[in-house]
Amino acid sequence: MQKLSPQVLNRATLDRQWLLRRHDATALEAIEHLVGLQAQSPQAPYVGLWTRLANFRAEELSDLLESRQAVRGSMMRATIHLTSSRDFLAFRPLIQPRLEREVYQNITYGRHRLEGLDMDAVLSAGIARMTESPATAAQLRTHLSTLWPDRDPAALAHAVRCLLPTLQVPPRGLWNRSGHPTLTTADLWLTSPTGPAAPTTPALPTTPGQSNPSVPPNSPDALILRYLAAYGPASVADAQTWSGLTRLSEIFDRLDLRTYTDATTGRTLYDLPHLSLPTDDIEPPTRFLPEYDNLLLSHADRTRFITPTTRASLALHDVLTKGTLLHNGQATALWKLTKSKSTATLEISPFTPIPPSAWTTITPEAQALLTFTAPNTTHNIKRITP
């Protein structure tokens, strides 16, 4: 079995993530190729698409959300994801076990607070409130507390948010817009007479040489194939980390997949048979990733992007939850953007040494990020000394 070095894995996943070159594709095509982008930071997907697409405009994503072709809701790892409406309808039911664990094993909202409840009645009450209009968490708490006055209103609202296929509706998630998370269900939002109904049968990505043609498009098998197309080669544990699901080994076993060996850990890695790997001598471009970018969150073993030295010297939470600079394919710095009416400043804080020559590629990309995020302001790039 062929052994794959960390550098080969790095280049392969960067290629699948559209980070070796910007692709000439639509925002919807990118969202579906990536099987969604993590989006609890509402503006993060805009940077995530900008760094992957050749001609991305922020208005394109806002239009997808307003036309209901894309949605924001609880998906992988029980976190807010931006997905196409097709993918949400197809894959949200598969993620239900992870959302149930989020409710019943939650220390703050679950366990004893929900014991003895008729949960079907609670969910029906939540649907009834959201049928009147999309509701904030506070509005759900108020509504549910009148029906179950002896229960924790926050726990009731949390159960409704997670156990139902809820979505956060615009203006939340629109470019340079704000608003409290306001919830409705996929059924209400995607079949509303005021908005287009989403197709209910998403197609698998059309890739040449597809070796699993009989896989239903809304099945767990399809979910794994889509994951490998965007994040592979990967292990079973990697797929479980990405999805938040467990016991995926049997799915991998029944699919027609190519196998490799991780040269560092000896783990078995799986991939789609028709996809080739790029050579490890490709020089990756500098890329700015937004906070919570899926590239850094979707593998159990993150050493293909975060070296053990980096992980030992820096809080992993910072790398995963803040804007990250990729240089030579590795996470090397954090970045933060601050804006006023007339000025935008991009602070870059290296956590590993960056040679002076590297700034010849970092600076133009930083300027491009400022132009995208704050086009009509004075731009400053500030290097923070580690």
User: How confident is residue 184, by pLDDT bands cut at 50, 70 and 90?
Assistant: very high
CB distance 136 to 179 below 8 Å: no
**Residue-averaged pLDDT of the chain:** 91
Query: In 204-346, where does DSSP find H-type helix?
Result: 220-231, 236-243, 249-254, 308-313, 316-321
DSSP-H helix ranges across the chain: 6-16, 27-33, 44-50, 58-66, 85-91, 96-104, 119-132, 137-147, 153-163, 186-190, 220-231, 236-243, 249-254, 308-313, 316-321, 359-373
Asked if residue 175 has pLDDT above 50, the reply is yes
Predicted pLDDT at 202: 45
DSSP letter (8 states) at residue 203:
P
Task: Return the bridge partners of 23, or none.
Answer: 53
- Provide the token pair at 117: 């409840």
Q: What is the pLDDT of residues 29-57, one digit of tens each?
A: 999 999 999 999 999 999 999 999 999 99
Q: Which residue has the tokens 């609890």?
A: 40
Distance, CA of 133 to CA of 33 (rounded, Å): 32
Give me the sheet containing 323-327, strands edge to edge: 287-289, 323-327, 330-339, 343-350, 378-383
Q: Strands 70-74, 37-38: parallel, antiparallel or unpaired by DSSP?
A: unpaired
Beta strand 3-4 with 258-262 is parallel
pLDDT of residue 178: 82
> Tens of pLDDT along 318-336?
777 789 999 999 999 999 9
Q: Cα–Cα distance between 301 and 228 in angstroms, integer?
A: 15
Residues 240-251 have pLDDT tens digits of 999 999 999 999
Q: Is the pLDDT of residue 209 over 50?
A: no
Cα dihedral 127/129/132/138 (nearest 10): -130
As a whole number, mean pLDDT of residues 125-144 equals 97
User: Which residues are CB-neighbours of 233 under 8 A, at least 6 positions away?
Assistant: 4, 9, 12, 258, 260, 269, 270, 271, 277
The reported pLDDT for the residue numbered 114 is 85
pLDDT bin (cut points 50, 70, 90) of residue 169 is very high
Per-residue pLDDT band at 192 (split at 50, 70, 90)? low
pLDDT band of residue 210 (cuts 50, 70, 90) is: low
- Most confidently modeled range among 46-55, 114-123, 174-183: 46-55
pLDDT at 312: 63
Q: What is the mean pLDDT of residues 79-99?
A: 96
pLDDT of residue 353: 85
Can you give the pLDDT at residue 115?
A: 85
